[in-house]
């Protein structure tokens, strides 16, 4: 199963909502942002009829009035737009539970798991457009590609009332002819600098020797070029998408018995991995946290070549990290596991790792089902210790709303 990420952008959203509510406004140049008498302020949305006159959002109202003197100017009603936005969101959530609203009129939806249910990208897009039209009468544009970056760029290319589907492997070719200004993150300054190297299109940037790019932009050159090739792995983040999953235990008495510490660690790893799978996520970075007698805290981290949600792989990393933690002779007051660099579980995409991982995941899937029914304690591997031997256990899934 490929990763398929849908981006939806409502067309001239505020203006469209007003045109639906008052049919006399349809087909007319409508400008939302302020009354005709307002001298200050900017355009928040212009209908496509107004755009023909060069009016666009963020333009001063005074300029808009000059360009489109016969336009209809309105202050706008945010409560109305919010209501329409929530209706659209409910429709999206009926297609996939993984919906990330990017703004009042834009959202990302991870539709990888919805493919079979709906019959593919085209059918998913058609279904969403039809329901939005039937339930809100609003026009929208949809793009589906392997990632958020490419889908976001693509909706802008096919607006209004558009749809485009970019197949896996076609990302770079799709972006190649587009002007560099279409690439998020390539601001005026970046474009000016790149212009000196003859870079005009996204494809030019993708093809620039990395050494040249590094001389100009330093370490960020790699990220910039990856984006130009249409590569991006950032997950669609719902309100409940964790940024990291961690669990730690404080001991009643400081512990020097590393066999016991290791068993506790295995237990903590199983718990975090279970939470990870509950969220449908994988981890790429495993951190071992140790607080020694005297409150001195150290963390030891390891980044995996490939993301995983498999207990044994996470425990394997911890075993690699343990000698570093043991090197210090102090007793241990607290021990913990943190999983970071999380992404959506794409285990069907796994090209390496072989059959063993796949088999394990199948086993774990059924194990998770049993655990889900009877609580976590039902199934435990032999190496982990029961919960009762620990004084306190804290867990937290950190959430924040970072940029995509
Ligand atoms: Mg929009």
Which tokens is 255 given? 């512990």
Q: Is 237 helix (H, G, I), strand (E, B) or coil?
A: coil
Has residue 73 got a pLDDT over 70?
A: yes
- Residue 352 class from Cβ within 10 Å (0-12 exposed, 13-18 middle, 19+ buried)? exposed
| CA of 131 relative to ligand 1 center, distance in Å | 18
User: Quick one: pLDDT at residue 102?
Assistant: 92
Task: Report domain 5-10+79-172's class.
Answer: alpha beta
Mean of all residue pLDDT scores within the chain: 86
> Phi and psi for 112 in degrees, rounded to 5?
-55, -40
Catalytic one among 106, 171, 237, 248?
Answer: 106
User: Quick one: pLDDT at residue 44?
Assistant: 93
| CA of 106 relative to ligand 1 center, distance in Å | 6
| CA of 47 relative to ligand 1 center, distance in Å | 11
State yes or no: is 270 an active-site residue: no
Q: Which residues, including other chains, have CB under 8 Å from residue 373's CB and lie 6 or more apart? A: none
Task: Report domain 179-228's class.
Answer: mainly alpha
| CA of 94 relative to ligand 1 center, distance in Å | 21
Which tokens is 90 given? 């409910």
Which tokens is 81 given? 């737009």
Answer for the pair 336, 301: CB distance below 8 angstroms, yes or no. no
| CA of 38 relative to ligand 1 center, distance in Å | 24
User: Quick one: pLDDT at residue 384?
Assistant: 57
| CA of 170 relative to ligand 1 center, distance in Å | 25
User: Quick one: pLDDT at residue 356?
Assistant: 42
- CATH code 1.10.10.10 for 244-398: no
Tens-digit pLDDT profile for residues 286-325: 999 999 998 899 999 999 998 899 999 999 999 999 999 9
User: Quick one: pLDDT at residue 395?
Assistant: 43
Biggest alpha carbon–alpha carbon distance for the chain = 82
User: Quick one: pLDDT at residue 235?
Assistant: 86
Has residue 228 got a pLDDT over 60?
A: yes
User: Quick one: pLDDT at residue 75?
Assistant: 92
Tens-digit pLDDT profile for residues 132-179: 999 999 999 999 999 999 999 999 999 999 999 999 999 999 999 999
Has residue 399 got a pLDDT over 50?
A: no
Has residue 188 got a pLDDT over 70?
A: yes
Count of CB atoms within 10 A of residue 368's CB? 18
| CA of 91 relative to ligand 1 center, distance in Å | 17
Mean local confidence (pLDDT), 239-253: 86
| CA of 9 relative to ligand 1 center, distance in Å | 5
Has residue 265 got a pLDDT over 80?
A: yes
User: Quick one: pLDDT at residue 234?
Assistant: 87
Buried b / exposed e along 218-239 (16+ C-beta atoms within 10 A): eeebeebbebbbbbbbebbbbe
For domain 13-77, give the fold: MutS, DNA mismatch repair protein, domain I (3.40.1170)
Q: Which residues, including other chains, have CB under 8 Å from residue 367's CB and lie 6 or more apart? A: 379
As a whole-number percent, the residues of the chain with pLDDT over 90 amount to 68
User: Quick one: pLDDT at residue 394?
Assistant: 45
Rg (CA), the chain: 26
Answer for the pair 4, 144: CB distance below 8 angstroms, yes or no. yes
Q: How confident is the model at residue 204 (pLDDT cuts 50, 70, 90)?
A: very high
Question: Domains of the chain: which residue ranges?
Answer: 5-10+79-172, 13-77, 179-228, 244-398
- Residue 46 class from Cβ within 10 Å (0-12 exposed, 13-18 middle, 19+ buried)? buried
Which tokens is 103 given? 């703004």
User: Quick one: pLDDT at residue 219?
Assistant: 87
User: Quick one: pLDDT at residue 281?
Assistant: 85
| CA of 108 relative to ligand 1 center, distance in Å | 13
Tens-digit pLDDT profile for residues 339-359: 999 887 765 333 333 444 554
Strand partners, 394: 248
């Amino acid at each position: 199963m490929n990763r398929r990420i849908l981006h939806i952008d409502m067309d001239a959203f505020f203006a469209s909502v007003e045109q639906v509510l008052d049919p006399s406004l349809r087909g007319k140049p409508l400008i939302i942002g302020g009354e005709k008498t307002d001298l200050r302020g900017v355009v928040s949305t212009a209908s496509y009829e107004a755009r023909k006159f060069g009016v666009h959002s963020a333009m001063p109202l005074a300029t808009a009035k000059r360009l489109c003197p016969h336009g209809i100017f309105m202050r706008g009603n945010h409560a109305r737009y919010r209501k329409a936005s929530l209706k659209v969101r409910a429709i999206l959530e009926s297609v996939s539970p993984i919906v990330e609203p990017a703004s009042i009129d834009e959202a990302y939806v991870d539709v990888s798991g919805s493919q079979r249910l709906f019959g593919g990208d085209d059918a998913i897009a058609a279904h969403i457009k039809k329901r939005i039209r039937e339930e809100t009468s609003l026009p929208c544009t949809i793009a589906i590609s392997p990632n958020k970056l490419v889908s976001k760029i693509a909706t802008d290319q096919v607006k209004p009332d558009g749809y485009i589907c970019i197949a896996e492997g076609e990302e770079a070719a799709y972006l190649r002819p587009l002007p560099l200004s279409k690439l998020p993150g390539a601001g005026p300054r970046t474009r000016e600098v790149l212009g000196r190297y003859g870079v005009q299109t996204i494809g030019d940037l993708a093809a620039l020797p990395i050494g040249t790019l590094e001389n100009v932009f330093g370490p960020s050159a790699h990220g910039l070029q990856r984006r130009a090739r249409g590569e991006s792995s950032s997950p669609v983040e719902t309100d409940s998408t964790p940024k990291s999953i961690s669990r730690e235990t404080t001991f009643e008495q400081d512990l020097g018995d590393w066999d016991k510490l290791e068993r506790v660690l295995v237990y903590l790893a199983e718990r975090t991995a279970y939470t990870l799978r509950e969220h449908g996520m994988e981890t790429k970075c495993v951190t071992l946290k140790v607080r020694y007698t005297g409150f001195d805290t150290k963390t030891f981290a390891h980044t995996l070549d490939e993301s995983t949600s498999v207990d044994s792989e996470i425990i394997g990393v911890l075993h690699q990290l343990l000698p570093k933690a043991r090197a210090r002779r102090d007793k241990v007051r607290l021990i913990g596991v943190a999983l970071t660099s999380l992404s959506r579980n794409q285990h069907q995409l796994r090209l390496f790792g072989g059959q063993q991982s796949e088999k394990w995941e199948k086993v774990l899937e059924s194990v998770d089902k049993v655990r889900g029914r009877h609580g976590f304690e039902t199934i435990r591997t032999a190496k982990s210790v029961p919960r009762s031997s620990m004084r306190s256990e804290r867990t937290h899934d950190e959430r924040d709303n970072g940029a995509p």
